[in-house]
Structures are given as structure tokens and as C-alpha cells.
Structure 1
Amino acid sequence: MNTLIAYSTRYGTSEKVAHLLAERLPGDVHIQNVVEAPDVEWGTVDHVIVGSSIRMGKIQDEMTAWLHINEAQLLKRPLGLYLCAGTPTPAERQRELEDAYREVLRAHAYFVEVVGNGYDFERMGFLDKAIVRMMAKQTVSSLNLDETMLDELVEAAQTSLRTRSENP
């Protein structure tokens, strides 16, 4: 099975998650930053995981456009959706997931969840650093991933891959 992990990232957290997932998933796994390389050879893709980061309550515009352009293809394949977001409450996480991914994609996906957050001060500009210091009370780079959520995503993906290979 060929898995595509498509992501967008502002400061690298979604990319780090994509690589962690790729290490844990079986088969041929291709990681692709949709901002840098939006085109996909769909004929070679059996399974898709999409991840993005949240900045100021939104995913990147390029990811929104990519999801819209490729929605029909995504709906033909097993799909996992993740976000990297620092929202503290379940209600806020749910709102961000709903804002990031359209209902049709969330309903189709076997996994839709926030998997953690990170702040890379080396990659941030002055304004973003100031906002993170004020809003998240962070002053140094950090990576706070929810290992349980990552394990659940990997397990759900493996189950989806097994089910698909048994029932092509």
C-alpha cells in the first residue's frame, strides 16, 4: 500500500508529525509539503493522511486550496486528518478541526484529531514570537505532541490499510 502524508506547516510541527507517522506506518510512505509541491500523482496513492498547523485560528490558505482541489480524490481513499494546535480545551480543539476540515472530509475520515503543538522560536518572526509569548505564555521553543493521539492515528491507519487490502 502507498500512503501519502500531505501537510502544511508554518514552523515545522506538522512536518515533524508527518515524519514520525512515516516511521511508524507500513508500506511505501511519501511525505509531501503541499505548499511547496501541491501536485499529486493520485494513481499511485492508496491511502492519505493530511496534517496542518493552526495559526491565528486557521490552517494555511494553500492547504485550504489543496483540500478543495483534491477533495474528490481524498474521498476515494482511506483518510486521516490531524492538526497541530495549542488550543487548551476540547471545545476549542473541536472548533478548530471543524474550521480546518470540511464536514464531508471529517465524516469520511477514520481519524480527526489534534495531535499536539509546537513553537519553534528559531523559525518565527518578531511579531509571531510576541504573540506566542503573550497568548501561549511560551518563551522558548517546545514540542508537545500527544503520543496517545499519535498512536491512535497509526493504529487507525493500519486498521484502515488492512481492511482495504482484505476488501479491495
Structure 2
Amino acid sequence: MKTLIIYGTNYGTAEGVAKTIKGKISDQVEMVNIKKASVPNLNDFNKIVIGSGVKIGMINKKLKSWMNNNCDEIISKKIFLFLCASTTKAEEIEKIWSANYPEKILDNATIKICVGGVLNLDKMGFFDKLIIKKVTGQNESSSTLKIDEILNLASLIEKA
């Protein structure tokens, strides 16, 4: 089996999750940061893992555009979706899914999971820090990353 892990990351959390998944599955895996590289031909893959960080309720724009432009090809594969978002509120997570992912992809995904997130103020620019502090009231970096959920996702991908 051949697996494509395609992700968009703002501050590196989605890339870290992608690397963890890659290290836990035995498939031949190709990882693509959509912000830095082009996506290979989807015909070469059996499984597609799509993940992104979330910034103000939105995933990476290039990733969103790529999904919209390749929806029919994507849904012909086994699809696994992950979000890196600090919110733990189910209704907020559901809004993020529906606002950012094509319905066909959501309906055909084996799993869609929010694996938590990392808020690293040290990696943020001035305006991002200002917005985060204003919206969340947080003045310190924090992590809600759920390692057990990431490992569970990797296990599901391995078994598929």
C-alpha cells in the first residue's frame, strides 16, 4: 500500500502529527507540505491522509483549494482527516469541518478527528500574538495535543 499524507501547517503542529503518523505505519508513505511542494499524482496512492492546523477557524488556504479542485479523485481513495486545533468544543470543531472541507470528502472519510493543538506564542508574529491574546486571553504557550488520538489515527490507517 502507498499512503499520501498531505498537510498545511502554520506553526509546525500539523507537520509534527504527519511525521508521527508516518513513523507508525508500515506503508510506503509520501509526505507533502502543500505550502512548500506540489502534490504528486493521486493515482499512485491507495490512502490519503489530509491534515491542517486551524487559524481563526480556517485551515490552510492552499489545502482547501486543492481539496476542492481534486475532490472526485480524493474520494476514490481511503481518506483520513485530522485537524490541529486547540478548541475542545465539539460544536466549534464541527463548524471548522463544515466550513473548510467539501461535503463529499467529509462523507467519504474513514475518520475525521481533531487531535488537539499547540499554541506556541514564540513562533507567532506580533499581530497573531495580539489576536490570540485578545480572543483567548492567553499570554502563554500551551498544548492540548492528544498523542493517544494521533496514535489511534495511525493505527486505523495501518489497518485500512
Instruction: Calculate the TM-score normalised by the size of structure 1.
Output: 0.87
Alignment of 1:101-116 (within 5 A): 101-116=101-116
Give the alignment's Cα RMSD to 1 decimal. 1.5
Report which stretch shifted further, 93-102 or 143-152: 143-152
5+ long unaligned stretches in structure 2: none
Match of 1:95 in 2: 95
CA distance in 2, matches of 1:48, 1:3: 6
Match of 2:48 in 1: 48
Match of 1:133 in 2: 133
Match of 1:10 in 2: 10
Deviations 1:73-119 (A, max 9, x none): 21111000111112231111111112121211011010111111112
- Residue identity opposite 1:70 in structure 2: N
CA distance in 2, matches of 1:95, 1:131: 20
Q: Quote the offset at 1:37 in angstroms.
A: 1.4
Deviations 1:20-39 (A, max 9, x none): 11111112111111121133
For the Cα contact (< 8 Å) 2:71–2:102, is it kept in 1? no
Match of 1:37 in 2: 37
Q: Quote the offset at 1:15 in angstroms.
A: 0.8
Match of 1:59 in 2: 59
CA distance in 2, matches of 1:69, 1:3: 20
- Compare relative contact order (CA 8 Å, sep 6+) and give the higher one, 1 or 2: 2
5+ long unaligned stretches in structure 1: 161-168
**How many residues get paired?**
160
- Residue identity opposite 2:22 in structure 1: A
